[in-house]
Amino acid sequence: MENLIMIKWGGSLITNKNKPLTPNIGIIKSLVKQIKEIREIKPELKIILGHGSGSFGHSIAAKYQTRDGIKNNVDWIGFSQVWYAVRALNIIVTRALNDLGIPSITFPPSALIKASGGIGVDYFRFPFDTILSTNILPVVHGDVVFDEDLGGTILSTEDIFLFLADFYQPEKIYLAGIEKCIWEDFPENKKPIKKISPKNFLKLQDKIGGSSNVDVTGGMFAKVKLMVDLVTKFPNLKVNIFSGTSPEGLKQEILGQSTGTVIEME
């Protein structure tokens, strides 16, 4: 879709992953302010905003191993608790958007997407198609979903972007986290990787680290792998991975030059 971009605020960015159920309110407000400024400067942009669950979802999901599927009633209780936790963070995010005058509606994957074997396979398109023709900001987030093989599982925000890209084909995807880029030597962080392509990913994949916090969806390597798969499928797509911690970081990335790691075809 022309002028469509997807933006993700990482869970490690908008929450304190070392403290359960702790949002980084200052960062959230800063990111919302930048979204407003970006929309004012480039009103032609269509944005799908996604966010991770950070300390709201990952610790509970790890406790119940929800990503691996539902096997009994205890697992279903965990499924429900993960849903409740990620919804609580989403309310904080959408409240911040509303407070700054940005109309938004959340599309929870648990209610819209059907999965099979841990992969999104179908969803109810009409609401999302409609929202993209308005000035209302659609919001998605990592969430539990019902799965015809596993009973239930978790899709990360990147999983959801991968799924939605089949229908809407964004021009760019921006993944804002706490790290400035992808590192070749994580967690020492002395050797930045400036560009990743499907070709050099094979050489780099053993050097891309996971996560310093609990991440049930696979950490940085899993995120990069999904984005490489997307670029392979849509060769004109570019993915930027960068730090969203500075007051102008997101705005600079979208309106200016890339500061982090770019994933694209060679």
Q: What is the pLDDT of residues 109-119, one digit of tens each?
A: 999 999 999 99
- pLDDT tens-digit profile of 54-91? 999 988 999 999 999 999 999 999 999 999 999 999 99
Cα dist from 54 to 9, 23, 202, 242, whole Å: 10, 9, 28, 17
Region 157-161: mean pLDDT is 95
Instruction: Enumerate residues 6+ apart whose C-beta is below 8 A from 208.
Output: 182, 183, 184, 186, 193, 220, 221, 224
Share of the chain above pLDDT 90, in %: 84
Residue at token pair 């959340």:
106
For the record, the structure tokens of 154 come out as 């978790």
Share of the chain above pLDDT 70, in %: 96
- b/e map of 156-187 (b: 16 or more CB within 10 Å)? bbbbbbbbbbeebebbbbbbbbbbbbbbbebe
Region 219-237: mean pLDDT is 91
- pLDDT tens-digit profile of 123-158? 999 999 999 999 999 999 999 999 999 999 999 999
CA distance 188 to 200: 22
Q: Within 10 Å of residue 266's Cβ, how many Cβ atoms?
A: 8
pLDDT over threshold 90, residue 207? no
CA distance 265 to 254: 19
CA distance 226 to 230: 6
Q: How many residues in total does the chain contain?
A: 266
Helix (H, G, I), strand (E, B) or coil at 23: strand
CA distance 233 to 218: 21
- In this prediction, residue 236 has a pLDDT band, given cuts at 50, 70 and 90, of very high
- In this prediction, residue 166 has a pLDDT band, given cuts at 50, 70 and 90, of very high
Instruction: Enumerate residues 6+ apart whose C-beta is below 8 A from 87.
Output: 108
Look at residue 216 in the predicted model and tell me its pLDDT. Answer: 61
Interhelix angle 25-41/73-99, nearest 10 degrees: 60
- In this prediction, residue 218 has a pLDDT band, given cuts at 50, 70 and 90, of low
